[in-house]
């Protein structure tokens, strides 16, 4: 069982029982005490539980990591604006990789380009694009993660290595001055391969990501364009300028301004 699956089972148990011991984890998941302790460390680092004597518990008023469907509801208007601007960057007959992200899903929903080839491991994006007869959809196969609406596992990266794309669109859980952040180590591995296999990597993220935190980092060196809906914090903007990353900021009525770092 992958660590991601174990963490979700632990969170489900804690939400029902409010606490869980190391022995409970070993018994429920049939793992060693060392594995149980590593899982506890991961959950504590992500801030969704607190360490207790002999196990973990929910902090007061702590919410479980939002499900994909819950995230889809949050900041809907911002995601739509970002998605529309990002979709305009896609040209007819291009091959495009779509990451699993609610904002990337908004990009897929608003594509106007014709005869593109879409590559994704997102269940929802497959559903959105499957209704269009003017494009092809290539699904990166793997194990089904029902909660986060994706396919995962080593076969996803293996398949990416066999492909070449014009553009790739990725989301982010958090954006800090030293890079983009994600909750799982596998997330970064997949996004790195997407960057290697595409001519242009485009990150799409609403303003809330600049105040968020997560664990695993993707260096800005992999990113070519960042599209967001509000002004980028100055400390992050300076880093993006230094790395020649183009910033596209949405404005009202779906217009946008482009801050091309090459000109700064």
As to burial, measured by CB atoms within 10 angstroms (0-12 exposed, 13-18 middle, 19+ buried), residue 10 is: buried
pLDDT band of 262, cuts 50, 70, 90 = very low
The structure's pTM equals 0.70
* 50: its two tokens: 């607190």
Q: Kindly state the average pLDDT of the residues 158-184.
A: 94
3-state SS assignment for residue 35: helix
pLDDT in tens, 65-118: 455 555 545 557 888 999 999 999 999 999 999 999 989 999 999 999 999 999
pLDDT band of 244, cuts 50, 70, 90 = very high
Provide the pLDDT for residue 254.
45
Average pLDDT value for the chain? 85
Cα angle for residues 194, 234, 47 (degrees, 5° grid) = 65
Q: Kindly state the average pLDDT of the residues 58-67.
A: 49
pLDDT in tens, 115-166: 999 999 999 999 999 888 889 999 998 888 877 788 988 999 999 999 999 9
Q: CB–CB of 206/82 below 8 Å?
A: yes
On the question of pLDDT at 168 being above 90, the answer is yes
Provide the pLDDT for residue 252.
46
* 176: its two tokens: 């800090």
* 99: its two tokens: 């990451």
Distance CA(18)–CA(58), nearest Å, equals: 6
On the question of pLDDT at 42 being above 90, the answer is no
On the question of pLDDT at 222 being above 60, the answer is yes
Provide the pLDDT for residue 86.
96
3-state SS assignment for residue 79: helix
Distance CA(121)–CA(37), nearest Å, equals: 30
Domains in the chain (CATH in brackets) are: 3-57 (1.10.10.10), 69-263 (3.40.50.1360)
pLDDT band of 251, cuts 50, 70, 90 = low
Distance CA(21)–CA(215), nearest Å, equals: 23
For residue 175, which of 110, 103, 81 has the smallest C-alpha distance?
A: 103
Residue bearing tokens 């180590």: 185
Residue bearing tokens 């799982």: 184
Instruction: Please report, rounded to a whole number, the percentage of residues in the chain having pLDDT higher than 70.
Output: 87
* 228: its two tokens: 């967001």
């Amino acid at each position: 069982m992958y660590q991601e699956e174990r963490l979700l089972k632990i969170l489900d148990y804690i939400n029902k029982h409010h606490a869980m011991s190391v022995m409970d984890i070993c018994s429920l998941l049939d793992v060693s005490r060392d594995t149980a302790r590593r899982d506890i460390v991961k959950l504590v680092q992500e801030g969704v539980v607190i360490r207790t004597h002999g196990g973990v518990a929910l902090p007061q008023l702590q919410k479980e990591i939002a499900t994909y469907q819950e995230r889809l509801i949050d900041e809907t208007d911002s995601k739509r604006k970002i998605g529309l601007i990002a979709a305009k960057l896609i040209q007819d007959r291009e091959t495009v990789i779509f990451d699993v992200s609610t904002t990337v899903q908004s990009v897929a929903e608003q594509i106007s380009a014709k005869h593109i080839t879409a590559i994704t491991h997102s269940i929802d994006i497959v559903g959105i694009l499957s209704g269009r007869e003017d494009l092809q959809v290539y699904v990166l196969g793997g194990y089904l993660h029902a909660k986060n609406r994706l396919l995962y596992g080593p076969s996803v990266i293996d398949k990416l290595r066999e492909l070449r794309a014009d553009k790739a669109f990725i989301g982010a859980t958090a954006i800090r001055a030293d890079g983009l952040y994600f909750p799982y180590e596998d997330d970064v591995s997949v996004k790195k391969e997407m960057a290697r296999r595409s001519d242009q990597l485009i990150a799409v993220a609403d303003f809330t990501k600049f105040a968020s935190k997560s664990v695993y980092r993707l260096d800005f060196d992999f990113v070519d364009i960042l599209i967001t809906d509000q002004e980028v914090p100055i400390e992050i903007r300076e880093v993006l300028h230094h790395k020649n990353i183009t910033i596209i900021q949405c404005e009202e009525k779906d217009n946008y301004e482009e801050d091309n770092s090459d000109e700064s």
